[in-house]
């Protein structure tokens, strides 16, 4: 069970909730007392929405407000990575996909959620950056640029919305200890990787009242990897 508490009664919307980090966040936030919103109609399974599309991102926020009366917390976890050729060879489709999934998803969701949060005078947004967004390397041009954009977005939201009771911070992991990463890098030292639940607990703290003292921060969570 998570060591974080203090989210009783809060309504949280988590993108990428079916992934390794997202599912860990759902459990940590639920254990901490939050209600995690899912978008569905009565008697139907949750609706899978493409948050790279502004209209569908707005629909996800409206579902939370419709079902729970408000939205307090937004975790922008959805993201992706793929191998990238050198800059001189990279194609537009790869750049567009990495920018859309990693950056535009966070922009779309934040843009939809912020009016509700500022209207209520309270809100927490936590984005997921990456070490490559701070210092990119060969073969990561588009991914690094997308995650750097997430960090810039975080700082802008924090500056614009802090006076209205809304904070925005970015968690910056390196390699997360997931089954997919272990399969892709079987020779790595997994003990140096950060577990998804530990990242989720850091995110949860940022969403508590005490975490409200932190705004516009870029927080590295990468252990020794």
Q: What is the pLDDT of residue 48?
A: 80
Is the residue at 56 inside a domain? yes
Overall domain count for the chain = 1
N-term to C-term CA, the chain: 25
Long-range contacts of the stretch 13-16 (C-beta < 8 A, 24+):
13/37, 13/60, 13/61, 13/64, 13/71, 13/73, 13/74, 13/75, 13/109, 13/113, 14/75, 14/77, 15/51, 15/60, 15/74, 15/75, 15/76, 15/77, 15/78, 15/105, 15/109, 16/77, 16/78, 16/79
What number is the average pLDDT over the span 24-52? 81
- Residue 98's domain comprises 11-221
As given in the structure block, the two tokens for residue 213 are 């003292």
Q: What is the pLDDT of residue 1?
A: 55
- At 125-179, the pLDDT tens digits run 999 999 999 999 999 999 999 999 999 999 999 999 989 999 999 999 988 888 8
pTM: 0.93
* Per-residue pLDDT at 42 exceeds 50: no
Burial class (CB in 10 A: 0-12, 13-18, 19+), 210: exposed
What number is the average pLDDT over the span 169-190? 88
What number is the average pLDDT over the span 57-63? 95
CATH number of the domain encompassing residue 187: 3.40.50.720
Is the residue at 5 inside a domain? no
Q: Residue 16 to residues 38, 54, 115, 124, 197: CA-CA distances in angstroms?
A: 12, 16, 22, 17, 14
In the predicted model, what is the mean pLDDT of the chain?
A: 92
Q: What is the pLDDT of residue 24?
A: 95
Is the residue at 6 inside a domain? no
């Amino acid at each position: 069970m998570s060591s974080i508490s203090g989210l009783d009664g809060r309504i949280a919307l988590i993108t990428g909730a079916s992934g390794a980090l997202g599912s860990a966040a759902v459990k940590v936030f639920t254990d901490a007392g939050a209600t995690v919103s899912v978008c569905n109609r009565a008697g139907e399974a949750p609706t899978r929405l493409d948050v790279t599309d502004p209209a569908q991102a707005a629909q996800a926020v409206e579902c939370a407000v419709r079902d729970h009366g408000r939205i307090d917390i937004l975790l922008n976890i959805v993201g992706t990575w793929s191998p990238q050729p050198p800059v001189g060879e990279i194609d537009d489709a790869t750049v567009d996909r990495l920018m859309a999934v990693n950056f535009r998803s966070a922009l779309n969701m934040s843009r939809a959620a912020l009016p509700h949060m500022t209207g209520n005078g309270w809100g927490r947004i936590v984005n997921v950056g990456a070490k490559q967004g701070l210092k990119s390397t060969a073969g990561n041009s588009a991914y690094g640029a997308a995650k750097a954009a997430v960090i810039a977005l975080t700082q802008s939201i924090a500056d614009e919305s802090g006076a209205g009771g809304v904070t925005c911070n970015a968690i910056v992991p390196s390699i997360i200890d997931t089954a997919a990463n272990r399969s892709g890098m079987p020779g790595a030292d997994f003990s140096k990787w950060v577990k998804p639940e530990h990242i989720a607990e850091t995110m949860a703290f940022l969403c508590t009242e005490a975490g409200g003292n932190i705004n516009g921060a870029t927080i590295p969570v990468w252990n020794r990897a």
